[in-house]
Structure 1
Amino acid sequence: MNKFEKLIDEKISPVAQKISAQRHLRAIRDSFATIMTFLIIGSIFMIIANFPINGWEELQVKLFGEDFPQLIMTPVRITFDFMSVYIAAAIAYNLSKRYNIDAFTVSLLSIASFILLIPFDSSIEVDGTVHVVPKVLQIGGWIGAKGLIVAIIVGIVVTEIFNLFVKKNISIKMPAGVPEAVSKAFSALIPGFVIITLTLIVRTIFAATSYGSLLQMIYSLVAMPAQAFIGNSVLGAIGLSVTSSLFWFLGINATSTLNGVVRPFWLQLQEQNMAAIQAGLTPPNILTEQFYDLIYMGGIGATLAVCIFLALRSKSKQYKEIGKISVIPGMFNINEPVMFGLPIVLNPIAFIPLILSPVVLILINYFVMYVGIVPKPNGIYLPWTTPPLIQGYLITGSIKGALLQLFDMFVVMGIWFPFLNVMDKKQCVLEVEEEKDDDDFDFSL
C-alpha cells in the first residue's frame, strides 16, 4: 500500500493536478461557475412558471392575467437563451485576468467576435411556407446552449490574439496625461481591429460552404456526435461516472476537473427538455446534468447513504462520529468530510463501492425513466446544494423522483454494507487495542 500511495503521490496526482490547473481549462471551469448564478436565477423563474401542480398555469392566468406566463418566462430567456454570449465573455475575462491584460476590453471583443460568426437571418414557417427574415438575431439557438462550443473557442482565441499583441508591444501609445480609459481604448485599437477582421474573414469563408457558418459546421461534425456519446449515451454516462469516482479516490475534485468539459453537452440536452415542456411535450432526453444530480446524493459516489449508515449502524466510535459530522454537509451534497475523514480517498477497501455505486444507480435510474415509470428530467437547473428527495421531486416534477432517490439510497447502502462492515470491524479492533494500551500505561513515577 505504501508503494501504491507513493506512486499516486509522485506520478499520477501531479499530472492530474497539472491538467486541472491548465490555464484554459481553469478559465472554462471558472466561467461556467460564474454563469451558474444566471442559470439558478433562470431556474427559479422556470419553477415558478412550471411548478408541478395540476392547474398551476391556469391559476397564474386567473390571478395575474393572460400575459403573465410569458412574462414570468422572460428571465428564463435572458439567462438560458443568452448562455453562449455570457460564456464567450466570461472565458475571455477569466483568461485575460491570468495574462494580466485588459480583461474588460477583451471580453467585449469576444462577445463581438462570437456574434459576428452567427448568421443574421432566421427562417420562420407561416402556413406551411418557410420565410427567411434578414437581420434577425434569434433568441436561443446559437446564442443559447447550441453555440457553447464556438463560444468557448472564441473566448480562448480572442484572448490569445490580444495577449500576443500585448507581448509584442504592438499598440497605439498615448502621451502621458491622457486619461487611463482613453489610453486603454486606443491601445486596444490595433489588436481589436485585427481580431474583428479575422473573424469577418472566417464568417465569409464558412458562409460560402454548405454549412453556412462555423457554428453549424462544428455543431454538425463535433457537437452532435460528442453529445450522442458523452451527453446522451449510457456507456458515456458510465465512463464519466467511473472517471469522476476514480479522480475522487485519488483526492482530486472531479467536479472542477471534468464538468467544465462535459457541461456544454449537458446544457444542450437540458435546453431541449425545457423547450419540450414549454410546448406541452414529453422531455426527449434522460442524461442531462440533472440526471447526475439525482445520482450523486451527497456528492460524487452518492456518499450521503454512507454518512447515514455510519451515523446509525457503525460500532466504531470514530466512524460513528465521522458519520454524524458528515450527514449535514452530505444533505447539501458536500462530501469532503466523509471522503477525507473516513477516509474513502486512497482507501483500497472503499475503492470498489465508490466506483460501483453510481454505475448501478445510472443503470437503475435510466431504465425507470426510459420505460416511463419515473418522468425524465424537466430541464430546470437547481443549485447543486439542493437536498436529495426535494431535488428528485423538483427535477422530475413528480413525487416519483423523490421516491426514486430514496430507493437509490437503500441500494447504495446495500452496495457499501459489506465493505463498511469490514472497515468498521477493523476500526473497532484498533480502538480496543488503543484503549488497552492506555489502560496498561503506568503514569506513576
Structure 2
Amino acid sequence: MNNLKEFFERFQKTMEDKVVPVASKIASQRHLSALRDGLTILIPLTVIGGISLMLANPPVDLETMKPTNVFFQFLIMWKQWANCYADILTIPFNLTIGIISIYVVLGVSYRLSQSYEMEAFPNSITSLFTFLCVAGVPVALKQGNYIDVSNLGAGAMFTAIIIALLSIEINHFMIEKNIKIKMPAGVPPMVAGPFEVLLPMVVNILVFIGLNQLCIVLTNNGLTNLVFTIFSPLISATASLPSMLIIVLLTVVFWFFGIHGDNMVSAITTPIFTGNLVANLDAYNAGKEIPNIIAGNFTFIFGLAIVYLAILFNLNFVCKNKRLRSLGKLAIPSSLFNINEPLVFGVPTVLNILTFIPSLICVAIDLTGAYLATSVGFMAKTCMSVPWTLPAPLYAFISTMDYKAIIVWVILFIINVIIFVPFMKSYDKQMDLEEQNITQAE
C-alpha cells in the first residue's frame, strides 16, 4: 500500500513538473485561451439543453417494460407524457445544443476580440454572419426559404471555431492597418465600432464564401463537412477489437479538437453496430449462440460513458477548485443520463491535454477489458436495444441481460477514476494558478 502511495506521489510530482507547465503554456496561448473561454460561456446552454433532452427521452422502452411496480409505472407514465409533449420539451435542446455552433462562433470570436482589445460585440457579429454565409444558407422550398439547422449543430463545431478565429484575425489585421471606414474624431466608440468592421466583414464574406464554393467543387461538400470528407476514407470498420479501438480513440481525438467525434464516425459505424445488434437479438430470440461482441452502444457504454463519469466523480470528490466543483455539481443530472455536453464545454475537455491523455488511456483499457470479459464468457454479449439515456451501469446490465456486466462496468469505472486522479489534481492546481494570475492582474 505504501509503495502504491509513493508511486502516485511521484507520478503527481512528475505531472506538476512536466505536464502542468506545458498545459499552462497551451492555456495561455491567445487563440487557445479564447477557445477555452468561449466554450465556457456555453455552460448554461448545455445544461439547459441536456435537461431538456433528458426529460424528452426517459430511459424506457414501452414495448418491453411492464407496470409491475410503482417505479415502472412512473417511468411508463413519464415516457407517455414525454411522447405527447416531445415537440415542446425539445425546444430548449433544439435551440441550444441543436444549434450549438452558432454559440461557439459568438463565444470564441467575442473572447478573441477582447484579447485584442477590439470592440467585441461588432466583431463577434461579423464572425457569426460569416459562419452563417457558409453553414446557414437558406434553402428555397415551395413554402418559402428555410435554414437547415442540422448544419448548425455539433457537427459544424470545427468549422465554427476556425471561422471564429480566422475572421477575427482578418478583422484585427485590417483594423490595425487602418483598412477601415474612419469616422470623425468626435464620434463615440459605440457608434464608430460597427463601421470599423464593415470592410473587414465584406472581406470575410468574400473569403469564406469563396473557400466554401471551392470545397463544394473539389469535394462535393462545403466547409462544414470538410473534416468528415478528409477523414472518412481513413475510417474503415469491422467488428474486431483493434479496429474498434482505432475508431473510438479517433473519436476521442476529434472531440479534443472540438469536432463532434460521434458524428464523424457514426455514418460508418452505426450500420455495422446496428446490424450486429439485430443479429444478436435474432440469435437470442431463437435460443442460439449470440455471435457479435461489439454491437449496439457497446463501445460507448464501455468506453466514453465510463470516462465522462470518471471525470464527473473527480470534479465532485477530488478537485478543490471552486469553479470545477460547481461545474461538477451542475453536470450531475445530465451526465447520469449520458448527456455529456456540460463536461465537454464546461471543463472543457476541448484542447485540454490533462483530460485528453487519461481519456485515451482509459478508453483503450475500458474497451479491451469489456471485450476480453465478454470473449472469455464472464459477461454476456449485447443483445438488447436500450434507450441511450439509460444510466450507463443499468444500460450495461439490461443490454446484456447479465448482472456481471455491472461488475465489469464498476471495475472499469474505479480504474478510470484512479487514472484520472493525478491528472485532475494537476488541472485543479492549474486552474488555481490561472485564477490567481487573473486576480493579480486586476
Task: Confirm or deny a common fold (TM above 0.5).
Answer: yes
Q: Which structure: larger Rg?
A: 1
Distance 2:14 2:406 in 1: 37
Alignment of 1:45 onto 2:62: no
Q: May I ask how many residue pairs the two structures share in their alignment?
A: 335
SS at match of 1:175: coil
My pick for the range that moved more, 30-39 or 148-157, is: 30-39
Q: Counterpart in 2 of 1:175?
A: 184
Task: Tell me if structure 1 keeps the 8 A contact 2:393–2:406.
Answer: yes
Write out per-residue CA displacement over residues 345-390 of structure 1, whole angstroms, 9 at most, x where no aligned residue: xxxxxxxx99977643332346769941676782x6xxxxxxxx96
Task: Tell me if structure 2 keeps the 8 A contact 1:161–1:195.
Answer: yes
Residues 1:390 and 1:50: Cα distance change in structure 2 (over 3 Å): closer
Residues 1:286 and 1:168: Cα distance change in structure 2 (over 3 Å): farther
Of 121, 126, 129 in structure 2, the residue corresponding to residue 104 of structure 1 is 121
Distance 2:416 2:213 in 1: 57
My pick for the range that moved more, 29-38 or 369-378, is: 369-378
Distance 2:79 2:17 in 1: 63
1:206 Cα deviation from its structure 2 partner? 3.5
Of 280, 300, 306 in structure 2, the residue corresponding to residue 294 of structure 1 is 306
Alignment of 1:192 onto 2:209: no
Q: Counterpart in 2 of 1:251?
A: none
Letter in 2 for 1:360: I
Distance 1:100 1:284 in 2: 49
Residues 1:121 and 1:293: Cα distance change in structure 2 (over 3 Å): same
Of 122, 147, 167 in structure 2, the residue corresponding to residue 137 of structure 1 is 147
Letter in 2 for 1:138: D
My pick for the range that moved more, 355-364 or 112-121, is: 355-364
1:195 Cα deviation from its structure 2 partner? 1.4
Of 68, 75, 95 in structure 1, the residue corresponding to residue 92 of structure 2 is 75
Write out per-residue CA displacement over residues 49-98 of structure 1, whole angstroms, 9 at most, x where no aligned residue: 1212354898469769x862222222222122212222122221122222
1:108 Cα deviation from its structure 2 partner? 1.3
1:221 Cα deviation from its structure 2 partner? 0.9
Alignment of 1:28 onto 2:23: no
Task: Tell me if structure 1 keeps the 8 A contact 2:61–2:386.
Answer: no
Distance 1:145 1:80 in 2: 7
Letter in 2 for 1:361: D
Q: Counterpart in 2 of 1:372?
A: 382
1:27 Cα deviation from its structure 2 partner? 2.6
Task: Tell me if structure 2 keeps the 8 A contact 1:25–1:260.
Answer: no
Q: Counterpart in 2 of 1:165?
A: 174
My pick for the range that moved more, 105-114 or 194-203, is: 194-203
Residues 1:181 and 1:293: Cα distance change in structure 2 (over 3 Å): same
Write out per-residue CA displacement over residues 175-231 of structure 1, whole angstroms, 9 at most, x where no aligned residue: 2443432211112212122212222322343444451523333321147747989xx
Backbone CA RMSD of aligned residues:
5.4
Alignment of 1:234 onto 2:245: yes
Letter in 2 for 1:100: E
Residues 1:108 and 1:118: Cα distance change in structure 2 (over 3 Å): same
SS at match of 1:172: coil
Distance 1:364 1:3 in 2: 27
Write out per-residue CA displacement over residues 134-174 of structure 1, whole angstroms, 9 at most, x where no aligned residue: 8432122x211221221111111111111112322332222
Distance 2:60 2:225 in 1: 39
Task: Tell me if structure 2 keeps the 8 A contact 1:84–1:144.
Answer: yes
Alignment of 1:264 onto 2:260: yes
Write out per-residue CA displacement over residues 281-300 of structure 1, whole angstroms, 9 at most, x where no aligned residue: 99965555994242455439
Residues 1:32 and 1:7: Cα distance change in structure 2 (over 3 Å): closer
TM-score, length basis structure 1: 0.57
Residues 1:272 and 1:27: Cα distance change in structure 2 (over 3 Å): farther
1:109 Cα deviation from its structure 2 partner? 1.4
Q: Counterpart in 2 of 1:19?
A: 26
Distance 1:102 1:227 in 2: 46
Q: Counterpart in 2 of 1:383?
A: none
Of 106, 128, 145 in structure 2, the residue corresponding to residue 89 of structure 1 is 106
SS at match of 1:101: coil
My pick for the range that moved more, 169-178 or 357-366, is: 357-366
SS at match of 1:181: helix
Counterpart mapping for 1:287-366 below 5 A:
287=299, 291-295=303-307, 297-299=309-311, 359-365=364-370
Letter in 2 for 1:105: P
Task: Tell me if structure 2 keeps the 8 A contact 1:294–1:392.
Answer: no
Task: Tell me if structure 2 keeps the 8 A contact 1:295–1:362.
Answer: no
Residues 1:287 and 1:89: Cα distance change in structure 2 (over 3 Å): farther
Letter in 2 for 1:137: I
Distance 2:165 2:115 in 1: 12
SS at match of 1:81: helix
Distance 1:61 1:4 in 2: 47
Task: Tell me if structure 1 keeps the 8 A contact 2:302–2:367.
Answer: no
